[in-house]
């Protein structure tokens, strides 16, 4: 199980939002590259980067910074936020970024997912962000009519190999992940599920491993020191 430290970028800084709300922001660093290098030194095998400006505007904004992170850390990076076209996917992957995450665009344009998976295969990951079991879109500011599990099955049918599943109600709250929802998702599909949202202590990582997810994204808990990355990686192994 891979542990993914999260680096969320907004207006060039490394921040965390609480429950995805833009007015509940904590700035942790003015330099996302330095933050990424810190996690790399702690043994991170993969980084999860979110372009919050892109998620909100619908157009990726921070590609240059994320590319710098990928080059300087030398470890794989997956990027989400505002990725809406095949051309944009191509541009991002050409900058040394390993994987792109499609969220809103996957809900609104399944044809894009089909084409992207056919062209870029495992370099395309789908982000499913759920609010009360329904898929949220546009920087989590709107909810679609799709049930998260049904949508995951649909994505699996399109050839998607990895899904990042976030429970928005738990995100940034440090209250523990929604284990029931994660387990339901793991059982519903036969592809890799990366859990996101709510990790607040090392115990949460042990519990998620038992649920059977292939990876865990850890954000605020790393920045507050509630979770030690080296210890988390050890458990993942």
pLDDT attached to residue 139: 59
Q: How far is CA 5 from CA 31, 51, 233, 236, in A?
A: 15, 14, 10, 13
Question: Which among 8, 51, 167, 171 is annotated as catalytic?
Answer: 8
Q: Cα separation of 125 and 116, whole Å?
A: 10
Instruction: Yes or no: say if 98 and 72 are a contact pair by the CB < 8 Å rule.
Output: no
Active site residue 129: yes
Counted residue by residue, the chain has a size of: 237
Listed by start position, the domains of the chain span: 2-236
Q: What was the pLDDT predicted at 122?
A: 96
Class of domain 2-236: alpha beta
The structure tokens listed for 43 are: 């043994």
- Residue-level pLDDT at 18: 80
Q: State the pLDDT at residue 173.
A: 64
Is 0.75 topped by the overall pTM? yes
Residue of 51, 53, 129, 167 with catalytic role: 129
Average pLDDT per 10 consecutive residues for the chain, totaling 237 residues: 97 86 88 97 97 90 96 97 95 97 91 97 95 76 83 96 88 79 95 95 97 97 96 97
Known catalytic residue: 8? yes
Q: Which helix (H) or strand (E) holds 2?
A: strand 2-10
């Amino acid at each position: 199980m891979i542990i993914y430290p999260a680096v969320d970028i907004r207006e060039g800084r490394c921040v965390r939002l609480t429950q995805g709300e833009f007015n509940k922001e904590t700035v942790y660093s003015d330099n996302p590259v330095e933050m990424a290098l810190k996690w790399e030194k702690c043994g991170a095998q993969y980084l999860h980067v979110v372009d919050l400006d892109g998620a909100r505007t619908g157009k990726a904004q921070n590609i240059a910074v994320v590319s710098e992170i990928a080059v300087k850390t030398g470890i794989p990076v997956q990027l989400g936020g505002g990725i809406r076209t095949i051309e944009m996917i191509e541009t991002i992957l050409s900058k040394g970024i390993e994987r792109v995450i499609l969220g809103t665009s996957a809900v609104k344009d399944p044809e894009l997912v089909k084409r992207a998976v056919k062209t870029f295969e495992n370099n395309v990951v789908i982000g499913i962000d759920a609010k009360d079991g329904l898929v949220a879109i546009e920087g989590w500011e709107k909810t679609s009519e799709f049930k998260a599990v049904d949508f995951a099955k649909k994505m699996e049918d399109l050839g998607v190999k990895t899904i990042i599943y976030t429970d928005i109600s738990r995100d940034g709250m440090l209250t523990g992940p929604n284990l029931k929802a994660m387990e339901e998702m793991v059982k519903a599909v036969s592809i890799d599920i990366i859990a996101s949202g709510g990790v607040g202590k090392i115990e949460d990582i042990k519990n998620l491993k038992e649920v059977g997810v292939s990876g865990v994204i850890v954000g605020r808990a790393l920045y507050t020191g509630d979770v030690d990355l080296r210890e988390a990686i050890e458990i993942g192994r």
